[in-house]
Structure 1
Amino acid sequence: MTLRSDLDFSVWNPDSDVSNYKLVEPDDFVVGLRSFQHGISHSTVRGLVSPAYTVLRAAPEAEPRFYKYYFRSSLLISQLANITQGIRQGQAIDMEAFQNLEIPLPPLAEQRRIADFLDIETRRMDGLRAASQRQSALLEERLTEQLRQLTTSAGHPEMRATGVPWMPDMAASWRLHKIGRSFRTGSGTTPRSSDTAYFDGEHAWVNTGDLRDSWVTEPSKTVTSKALADYPTLRVYPPGSLVVAMYGATTGRVGILGVPACVNQACCVLSGTGAVDPEFAFFWFRAHRLEILGLASGGGQPNISQDLVRSLRIPAPAKDEQHRIVRTAREWQDRIAAQRRLQERRAGLLAERRQALITAAVTGQFDVTTASGRNVTGGVAV
């Protein structure tokens, strides 16, 4: 559960009537409004919840820590799937059916042994998963720094000032190019969503969610020729164009079009016309995303405008050297991506094994008094 003080938004008026609210004590369980999606939360604090929630309190013969794990076991999750009401986002547990579920009740001492075992083993697995996630983040930081050096100096020993505070130096033999003079810039729009004749057509339509710092070859949405005819700002850009997310959750992310595509209004498209190769600019934008976001306007979710993008200055050598740099950047990116996939796969396997270990322990598939966490039946331990 999450304390209200830990949220970054207000969800309750302190002057409102709370007489119907329910008291939650430490070690209680709370079934949420959309209980099937959000599960059953174990409380570690004393507080109040809305009358719409259901509060469960353990009987004297039940160890709350044991049931904290049991309520997360694959067995119970499969049972919940059979007693839910509603569809999609409205799914919720049928509380009457839930109350009639039969759940295991081992002797209290055994419940505590199982909980103690799982406390230790899940903490160990969580530590390993956190280490994998930290390693993945460090790999991304390493790539960013490599790309920053590659797109500002590429190892040239002689440097000169750029006059740009957040990018102070570049190779002395390179030139500083203004984006607005080296690229044609444009954007797009979103057709009226209520008109189905505009969507699921023959033209790829890129949204900011499609921008993942890579080539964009299969955008998630398409629009029709009718949409292009009715919306003059909706034009098709050629493959090789650079796309920058201007606002939304992915602000600052970039992509290179691998197919002809139009875009929505949150995307800025750069089509190469000058001395800077779009893919070279792609890696430069990747390397300096945080600095560019620092120039953005807005509050919690800053925005980048086309004017801001056009005003940016990018250092670049001659085209032949840009192409060599792009080849090197691709190799680095592919190498780091492969290493990150290994870390993500490791974290995923740990999550699966954690779930299997919990299920095996709370359903009595092995004796935790003799299990070391390394030779658990069924191959579920790590």
Structure 2
Amino acid sequence: MTEVLGTVLPGNWTASRLKRVTSLLNRGSAPDYVDDGPVRAISQAANQPGGLDWARTRFHDATGDPRRLKGYLLPEDILINSTGTGTLGRIGYFQGGPDEVPCMADTHVTVARAIPSEVDSRFLYYWLSSIPFQEYIYAALVVGATNQIELNRDRLGDAPVPLPPAEEQGRISGFLDAEVARIDAVMGIRGNRQGSLLHMRRAGALAKVFGQAASSAPTRLKYLLSNKPRYGVLVPEFADAGVPFVRVNDLLDLRGRAATLVRIPEALSQQYARTRVQPNDILLSVVGTLGRAALAPAELEGANVARAVASLRVRHDVDPGLFIRWIETADFMRQALDATGSDTAQPTLGMEDLANFNLRWPTDAHEQRRLAEEVEEVAKHHDELAACYEKQIRLLAERRRALITAAVTGQIDVTTARGVRVP
């Protein structure tokens, strides 16, 4: 009887170690990023479970033969995200780039190259994506501090791999290719179309509320602020103790993450004293992901922000909650896209452009309060719709993982399981 990570395998299956079924198990190279270049660099952000996101790749200014680069990729290489808290352990599969430009992994991605005589590369990809292996990553392979965790490469090589007979590996891979593609197609339709429609509907409903304000008058964004908008620390240095540091992803749940934010030295924060956070400051993403905003809670007083986050401090007679809802309207996003449309790399919203955004703002204090209540009701309704949509996506993702796990551990016979449909 062979057992792998708590699962008893079928009688004709064996087991091995990742380092014995791969000829390469190394991190990639540190890229020298340029707007255009001879090599595409794939980061952990570009490594997505449903396929590589080429829009998130950048170019590396390589010299000489790119095949000599550490992390140079060949078709059928498997990519393992090896640092960070959000995507650690995410598995991708490289089938070649969208053009003839060579590709490489960066230092945050480990490349696993299957030995064909030992394991089918697709089978190995699915095993590394399975529930037992993903749980094993966090239980046995992670090292480092809470905010700087990474996979231990030596222990990664010792990770167990179940091995069905070669023909069975091929049948499992073929079965999963078909069934996972079907699930991914459904998730893509719902993720791209339904998610976009919900976002557009929310932005339109909020804009409609603002358009009904009787006291609205045209103004520029800078006239609603008590200080000029500013972005934060250009090159952060992290420390175990110091000043809490807000990054773009933290804006998704700023209050919930307040106690676990990474920290920077006090001396570095003092160099950017103008972006030290005060309660009710509006923190806005201005690089890459534009328009993500959050209201600073009282417990983050004195914190600081990243270069990709702008700090906006509204006048005392401007409702900050209402102002954030205006940021969620199509009017804000249209101007943000216009201001960054010529950017060749990731969009970066300049502070001068942001300060000169046009909007119609209610001048009457009573109407501001009424509108604030109305937009919160609109936002609550659309949050409920979004929660239902996210539940559908989550159930599909769970279905995907469960199906992969059942197949790569022999819990289902794929020769009789073809035709499985997503409920």
TM surpasses 0.5: yes
Give the C-alpha shift of residue 69 in structure 1: 2.6
The whole-number CA distance in structure 1 between the counterparts of 2:254 and 2:69 is: 54
> How far is the alpha carbon of 1:330 from its aligned partner?
0.9
Residue 405 of structure 2 aligns with an amino acid whose one-letter code is T
Aligned to 1:91: 152
Partners of 2:161 and 2:248 in 1: CA distance: 47
Alignment of 1:62-211 (within 5 A): 64-77=121-134, 87=144, 88-89=149-150, 91-94=152-155, 97=158, 103-106=162-165, 108=167, 110-134=168-192, 135-153=194-212, 174-185=216-227, 198-199=242-243, 209-211=249-251
Distance 2:404 2:211 in 1: 50
Number of residues of Structure 1 aligned to a counterpart in Structure 2: 344
* Aligned counterparts of 1:24 and 1:225: Cα–Cα separation in 2: 41
TM normalised by structure 1 equals 0.67
Equivalent residue, structure 1, for 2:116? 58
Partner of 1:342: 388
Which residue among 301, 321, 331 is the counterpart of 1:279? Answer: 321
| Per-residue Cα deviation, 1:247-267 (whole angstroms, up to 9, x for no partner) | 444543333344373453643
Q: Does 1:269 align with 2:312?
A: yes
Per-residue deviation, residues 305-345 of structure 1 (Å, max 9, x unmatched): 26842664433263333322222211111111122122212
CA RMSD of aligned residues (A): 4.8
Partners of 2:79 and 2:268 in 1: how far apart?
Answer: 45
Change (3 A) 1:19 1:247: closer
> Rg: which structure is higher?
1
Secondary structure at the counterpart of residue 163 of structure 2: coil
Give the AA of the match of 1:289.
F
Q: 2:64 aligns with which of 15, 37, 56?
A: 15
- Does the CA-based 8 Å contact 2:114-2:121 persist in structure 1? no
- Letter paired with 2:216: W
- The alpha-carbon distance between structure 1 residues 54 and 228, as it changes in their structure 2 partners (threshold 3 A), is closer
**In the alignment, structure 1 residue 290 sits paired with structure 2 residue 333:** yes
Cα distance change of structure 1 residues 361 and 304 upon mapping to structure 2, 3 Å threshold:
same
Which residue of the partner structure matches residue 406 of structure 2? 360
SS in 1 for 2:60: coil
Once the two structures are superposed, what CA deviation does each residue of 1:292-317 show, in whole Å capped at 9, x if it has no partner? 32464794332342684266443326
- CA change 1:304–1:216 in 2 (3 A) is farther
Counterpart CA distance in 1 for 2:119 and 2:254 is: 54
Show CA shifts across 1:89-131 (max 9, x none): 3522558646xx56322362x4444333322321222122223
* Aligned counterpart, 2:16: none
Specify every segment of 5 or more residues in structure 1 that has no aligned partner in the other structure, as ranges.
Answer: 155-170, 376-380
Contact 2:239 2:265 in 1 (8 A): no
Identity %: 21
Gaps of 5+ in 2: 1-38, 42-53
Is the partner of 1:268 in helix, strand or coil? strand
1:231-262 CA distance string (max 9 Å, x none) = 86476645xx3514264445433333443734
Matched residue, 2:378:
332
Distance across 1 between alignment mates of 2:133 and 2:124: 11
Deviations 1:202-232 (A, max 9, x none): xxx76655434x8857635589999999986
- Does residue 44 (structure 1) correspond to residue 95 (structure 2)? The answer is yes
- Please report how far the alpha carbon of residue 348 of structure 1 lies from its aligned counterpart in structure 2 after TM superposition: 1.8
Would you say 1:253 and 2:292 are equivalent positions?
Answer: yes
Q: Is the Cα–Cα contact under 8 Å of residues 24 and 55 in structure 1 kept in the other structure?
A: no
Once residues 396 and 402 of structure 2 are traced to their aligned partners in structure 1, the CA distance between those partners, rounded to angstroms, is 10
Q: Deviations for 1:174-213, whole angstroms, at most 9, x for unmatched residues?
A: 322444444423668669968877536xxxx76655434x
TM-fit CA distance, 1:366? 2.2
